Amino acid sequence: MDFRLDEEQQALRESVREFAREVVAPTIAEHYEQHTFPYEMVRQMGKMGLFGLPFAEEHGGMGGDYFALCLALEELARVDSSVAITLEAAVSLGAMPIYRFGTEEQKAQWLPKLLSGEALAAFGLTEPGTGSDAGGTRTRAVLDGDEWVINGSKAFITNSGTDITALVTVTAVTGTRPDGGKELSTIIVPSGTPGFTVAPGYSKVGWTASDTHELTFDDCRVPAANLLGERGRGFAQFLRILDEGRIAIAALAVGLAQGCVDESIKYAKERQAFGQPIGNYQAIQFKIADMEMKAHTARLAYYDAAARMLAGEPFKRQAAIAKLHASTVAVDNAREATQIHGGYGFMNEYPVARFWRDSKILEIGEGTSEVQRMIIARDLGM
Ligand SMILES: Cc1cc2nc3c(=O)[nH]c(=O)nc-3n(C[C@H](O)[C@H](O)[C@H](O)COP(=O)(O)OP(=O)(O)OC[C@H]3O[C@@H](n4cnc5c(N)ncnc54)[C@H](O)[C@@H]3O)c2cc1C
């Protein structure tokens, strides 16, 4: 039992930490304020190999693993979550379905540009009328000769409308199962396909430098060969992708929680009240000690879930626990960090304001906290 990082993992963490401090920190506030996508940062992250971290070298990846991705996400989110979610969605939701379930032709066509960060893929599961209950998918795809004809819409899809978005994988009803239930399949829809429309970006509370759109498919035709994996396996595919994704979101949440500790210590040492730094007061010290405790235990939870996943053991419950705990901790720490900053914590010029605005979505995206509790209870036999 050893959760210490080896030399390679420490080196990765150091290089991402340096990138986050030197490249992301100085300019991200401007992107956040103006709701612009940080293309230059994405380009540099591509050069660092971050988009290829958990993929085999034969497909253009770095030959690392999912834990390496998590370490990178934690370090990015310690400084900014829009950049971190851009990487998380591109890798764990965008490229991973093609890597896990794609044909050799699909892998050869898409993975080299996705794993280098030259292009981004998006994951289209949520719809305007259904999110947690993904089985309620209404988007339909009908096979017409050698083409799928897709009709429907998807909501809140990350990385779906950037200048470098290459495709979205869309979950659609493709028929009826023998038991009368919906047959769900996943289909690759390249950007620019006629009938595929990307709405203007949402006005969001947080993650404002990340790219999120509603998508519409209106008699959108793609080749039959764009089916991802087997027909009727859509449900099983997205469950697998979301189980893994929860560990990545937990890592991102730990990063935000730790960033709150960093900023609070800095501020508490500088800010004077009643003749001394506020960090001299035990009330402030205890807040920061509690924040550190929460970030640390949430980190152990995601390390454990990742270790089980990489060992090929069941990890569904541990991934849900990690995501539930880390997102709760992120919200708690963002609230306390804001409190420590007093009125300045409510000003957008301070990083904690971004942390506060970015924390809430962690209790919602890739499965709400209620859904995580449902998964844990079900796994306990309830
Ligand atoms: C910024 C952003 C980015 C996103 N990116 C993506 C993406 O890239 N791809 C993608 O497919 N989706 C994406 N999503 C969608 C996200 O995963 C969903 O919003 C989330 O899963 C919740 O679904 P919903 O919004 O439909 O809420 P609902 O499912 O409508 O839930 C509403 C409330 O009811 C609760 N609830 C639902 N069912 C139950 C139940 N049985 N018992 C108790 N409570 C219940 C929920 O927990 C929640 O509190 C994104 C969302 C946002 C906001």
* pLDDT surpasses 90 at 120: yes
- Is the C-beta atom of 157 inside 6 A of ligand 1? yes
| Residue 287 token pair | 């807040």
- Predicted local confidence at residue 234, as pLDDT: 94
346-357, pLDDT tens digit by residue?
999 999 999 999
Atom of ligand 1 nearest to the CA of 367: 21
* pLDDT surpasses 90 at 135: no
Return the closest-CA partner of residue 31 out of 92, 79, 97, 96: 79
Q: Are residues 252 and 336 in the same domain?
A: yes
Which residues, other chains included, contact 278 with Cβ-Cβ below 8 Å and sequence gap of 6+? 267, 268, 271, 272, 284, 340
4-45, pLDDT tens digit by residue?
999 999 999 999 999 999 999 999 999 999 999 999 999 999
The CATH number given to whatever domain includes residue 115 is 1.10.540.10
- Is the C-beta atom of 139 inside 6 A of ligand 1? no
Q: Are residues 224 and 280 in the same domain?
A: no
Tell me, yes or no, whether 373 lies in a domain.
yes
What is the arithmetic mean of pLDDT over 300-305? 98
Q: Are residues 249 and 368 in the same domain?
A: yes
Q: Are residues 163 and 218 in the same domain?
A: yes
Is residue 366 annotated as part of the catalytic site, yes or no? yes
Q: How far is the CA of 127 from the centre of ligand 1 (A)?
A: 9
What is the arithmetic mean of pLDDT over 324-335? 98
Domain boundary among 120, 155, 179: 120
Atom of ligand 1 nearest to the CA of 368: 47
**Residue located nearest, by CA, to atom 14 of ligand 1:** 156
- Is the C-beta atom of 85 inside 6 A of ligand 1? no
Q: Are residues 108 and 49 in the same domain?
A: yes
- Is the C-beta atom of 215 inside 6 A of ligand 1? no
Return the closest-CA partner of residue 307 out of 98, 84, 68: 68
Cα separation of 3 and 203, whole Å?
40
309-319, pLDDT tens digit by residue?
999 999 999 99
Q: Are residues 318 and 371 in the same domain?
A: yes
206-235, pLDDT tens digit by residue?
999 999 999 999 999 999 999 999 999 999
Region for 221 from its dihedrals, namely left if φ exceeds 0, alpha if ψ lies in -120 to 50, beta otherwise: beta
- Is the C-beta atom of 156 inside 6 A of ligand 1? yes
Tell me, yes or no, whether 2 lies in a domain.
no
Rg, the chain, Cα only = 21
Q: How far is the CA of 370 from the centre of ligand 1 (A)?
A: 10
* pLDDT surpasses 80 at 1: no
- Is the C-beta atom of 132 inside 6 A of ligand 1? yes
Domain boundary among 120, 153, 173: 120
Cα separation of 52 and 286, whole Å?
40
Q: If pLDDT is split at 50, 70 and 90, which confidence band does 134 have?
A: confident
Cα separation of 271 and 29, whole Å?
22
Cα separation of 81 and 379, whole Å?
30
Cα separation of 201 and 9, whole Å?
36
Q: Are residues 207 and 310 in the same domain?
A: no
Catalytic entry in 88, 214, 363, 366: 366
* pLDDT surpasses 80 at 159: yes
| Residue 63 token pair | 């030959």
| Residue 243 token pair | 């189980």
What is the arithmetic mean of pLDDT over 350-367? 97
Q: Are residues 193 and 132 in the same domain?
A: yes
- Predicted local confidence at residue 178, as pLDDT: 92
8-state DSSP, 36: -
* pLDDT surpasses 90 at 87: yes
- Proportion of the chain above pLDDT 70, given as a percent: 100
| 355 in Cβ contact with 79 (< 8 Å) | no
367-377, pLDDT tens digit by residue?
999 999 999 99
- 223 forms bridges with which residues in the sheet? 147
Tell me, yes or no, whether 1 lies in a domain.
no
- Predicted local confidence at residue 2, as pLDDT: 82
Domain count, the chain: 3
Cα separation of 171 and 168, whole Å?
10
Q: How far is the CA of 368 from the centre of ligand 1 (A)?
A: 6
**Boundaries of domain holding 157:** 122-230
Q: If pLDDT is split at 50, 70 and 90, which confidence band does 128 have?
A: very high
The CATH number given to whatever domain includes residue 261 is 1.20.140.10
Domain boundary among 90, 120, 150: 120
Q: Are residues 29 and 108 in the same domain?
A: yes
- Is the C-beta atom of 32 inside 6 A of ligand 1? no
Which residues, other chains included, contact 306 with Cβ-Cβ below 8 Å and sequence gap of 6+? 66, 67, 70, 247, 315
Q: Are residues 115 and 130 in the same domain?
A: no
b (16+ CB within 10 A) / e for 56-86: eeebbbbebebbbbbbbbbbbbbbbbbbbbb
- Report the Cα 169 to chain-centroid distance in Å: 16
- Which of 368, 369, 382 has most ligand 1 atoms within 8 Å of its beta carbon, as the pocket-test mutant? 368
The CATH number given to whatever domain includes residue 219 is 2.40.110.10
Q: How far is the CA of 161 from the centre of ligand 1 (A)?
A: 20
Return the closest-CA partner of residue 189 out of 156, 227, 163, 158: 227
What is the arithmetic mean of pLDDT over 169-196? 96
- Helix-, strand-, coil-residue percentages of the chain, each rounded to 5: 55, 15, 25
